[in-house]
Structure 1
Amino acid sequence: MSAAFADEVHVAVAANFTAPIQAIAKDFEKDTGHKLIAAYGATGQFYSQIKNGAPFEVLLSADDATPAKLEREGDTVPGSRFTYAIGTLALWSAKEGYVDDKGAVLKANQYQHLSIADAKTAPYGLAATQVLSKLNLTDATKDKIVTGQNITQAYQFVSTGNAELGFVALSQIYKDGQITSGSAWIVPANLHDPIKQDSVILNKGKDNAAAKALVEYLKGPKAAAVIKSFGYQL
């Protein structure tokens, strides 16, 4: 394989998309010969790192606002932005049977701690605060909230039992049509703004064949099947 076909691409990946991109990366590397090197975190933190010169070539954001902002500020390859997934929010407990499928446990307010990601940097955290507001639970829950830096940490607070329940990305607890552990309420999409997750090629990736190949791959049927299997809409 010639060097031109064996580039590496450095990708900033929203924490909620960790499991899907790990699955996609295996096929991507096998099918294209390119290597994907991923970093995982909160979209807002990635924005700061990109502005400070971090070596990322592609951003897989947890929202559509951050890639659009980078585009306006001249930090992206024109025309490369697209929506690769629409995220789903879930209220989850590591305990079986703790969360009912209507989310009544939230309103019953019998828990000590509710985990959410930081609404300032993590779009799933923002969506969680919108749900609490829509359900008139903002005041009732404010002393119970445990804030994770990103959605991975919000998930960890629940999985370790430090919070009885929390708002997580459905993709963290779902595979092939079912909840993989504990109990969950899949939050209706009308309770928060759509979690449109956009991807964009950053300026550092403009001459990188692997960056272009990854974005094309994400639009293809193999990646789409993986993305859907984790509970995202397309």
Structure 2
Amino acid sequence: MGTIARGGKAVYGAPLGILMLEARFPRIPGDMGNAETWPFPVLYRVVRGASPERVVLDGAAGLLPDFLDAAKELVDFGAEAITTNCGFLSLFQAEIAAHVGVPVATSSLMQVPWVQAMLPPGKRVGVITVSAGSLTPRHLEAAGVPLDTPFVGTEDGEEFFRVLIRAEKQDMDVDLARRDILRAGERLMREHADIGAVVLECTNMPPYAKALRAALGVPVFDVYSLVTWLRAGVRPRGFEG
């Protein structure tokens, strides 16, 4: 009997679906929205009207139905797991997972308790977020993050926040953006001497993770580590033969 190929999907070979905010800033290599970031194919779906400002500063108010529809569409296309390109969408974690019936990881923040479990006694996880003023206990609780977790934002920076969230321009000075992230990391370490690892909330921060690791001297986890972990479970590596 010959090999039987199974049907039922619209797209094959890309089991991971990414829900994207609607934005026009540059997505450099390492950014979640740059398809070349990933060592495997992914499916994208832009959620219209879900601007970074609306999701981050306004708590994604009124957007849940749009994200549910978009997530279901990705699953219908062939996605076997869903993630999003904004850590603040942890607010929708339970609803999206219930709606689509496949594994869902809405936020890089979900890694905080995992990383904490790996650290030695006396050390804890710190978070760098795009907007400390917008990261509420609701966001943390939805991702399973202890409410006493220290975090800092990039609102006081020169470039990163105003390009990504305020959308003041479409071009971005990458060197200035890197400086904003590094300064936030240095402030986190300066204010909390017990930081043993850092988790980056923002999905636009992975391009700067290597520089952060070198500058801070502690492990750095981000949405890239989250998504590659998720994908490894959906498509385990084979070692036969």
TM-score category (smaller protein): 0.3 to 0.5
Question: How does the TM-score come out when normalised to structure 2?
Answer: 0.34
Structure 1 or 2: more strand by fraction: 1
| RCO comparison, higher one (Cα < 8 Å, 6+) | 1
